Amino acid sequence: MEERGAYVLANDEVYEWTVAFLESFRTHNPDLPLYLIPFDERCDRLSDHQSTYQFQIFRHESFDFLESIGERLELGVTPSGPHWFRRFASFWGPLDEFIYLDCRMVVLADVAPLISALGVYECDFLHFEGGLDQVYEPGPVRTELVVEQQAQGFNSGRWITKKGVFSRAQMKAAADDLVEHRDQMNRRNTDQFFLNYLVHTSDVRCASVHDLMPEVSRLTWPRIPGTIYRDGDSYKVWSHGRPEHDTQVVLMHWAGIGKSPGMERRWLFRRFWFQSKSKIETIGLWARELVLLPVLIIWGVLRRSRWVHGLYEWVIGK
C-alpha cells in the first residue's frame, strides 16, 4: 500500500514559525505522516517536540550532493541558499506520494485531497502559483519554455509529487545547464528556479493545483488581495468580483516575508502560535499584542502611504 504524507524543512532558527506550522498541520491533519527535513544541524529544540506533534526527523545521505548543486548556482545573495536544496531529498524518502511544505506557513485544511489529486488527474507534479518573474529573467530560456512547454512559474515552498519523479542524474544535468544560463535565472531564488527548470524541461505530467481544483483558493500568499474568514471548520476568502471569491484557503505562506508585528495576516500565525502555549503564557502574549496595537495601526497607515513608497524607491535607487 502506498504511503502518503508530508515533508517540512526547518531548524531551530525558525522555531516559532515551525511550532505554529506544526500546530496548524496537526489541527487539520491529525493522522497524516509528517517528516521534518533538518535545514542544518540546529534542530535540538524542534526534536523535543517529536512526540507532541508526531513527526520524524528525516536525514538522508544525499544532503551533501544537493547542497553542492546549490553552491554551484548561488551568487552570494542568499548565503544559506544551498541548504534549501535539502528539501529535494524528499524525492528519495519514505513517502510514495507527498506534499512538501515550508515551515513559514500555516496549514488551514486537510491536505490529503491535494495529494490524492495526483491520482485523480493522473499527474506526477502539482504546484501552486508563484509567477515567472520569481523564476526566470527575460531571455531565450524563459521564452522557449513558455512557448514550447507552456511553462507556469511556481513557488518552491509548496508542491505535491511522487517518490522517484527525479533522479540524481537528472538533477546534475539540470544544474550543468543552469550554470551556463545563470544570468537568465532569478538572482535570489536558486532552489525555486532549479525546481521549476527540472519540471519544465522534463516529461513529467504537471499542472497547477488551482487550475485542476478551482475550489482551492489562489490566495496562499499574504499580500494577495482578499479577506480570509472562518466558515465552520474551513477558511475561505471574500474577494467579491475576483475569481478566488468564496474559495477555500488551504495554506498561508509567508514566503519572503519576515516575522514581525506588522506582517500581513499575522492573526493566522498568532492563532496557532498562541495555541501551543499554556493559558498563562497566552495571557502574556495577548497583553503584548494590546501594547503593540497602536504601533501596528500606524505601521499599516505608513505602508499604504505613497510618500513612504516614493522615499523607499528613491533610497534604493541611490
- Out of 53-57, 105-109, 305-309, least confident range: 305-309
Rounded CA separation 175/141 (Å)? 14
Residue 152 near residue 134, CB atoms below 8 Å? no
- One-character DSSP codes across 212-240: H-TTB-S--STTSS-EEEEETTEEEEE-T
Q: Return the SS3 of 257.
A: coil
Per-residue pLDDT tens digits for 164-207: 999 999 999 999 999 999 999 999 999 999 999 999 999 999 99
DSSP 8-state secondary structure symbol assigned to residue 139: S
- When pLDDT is cut at 50, 70 and 90, the band that residue 301 belongs to is low
Mean pLDDT score, 218-224: 90
Cell of 195: 525546481
pLDDT of residue 305 exceeding 70: no
3-state DSSP assignment of residue 99 = strand
Give the chain's domains with CATH numbers. 4-212 (3.90.550.10), 277-318 (no CATH)
* pLDDT tens sequence across 156-168: 999 999 999 999 9
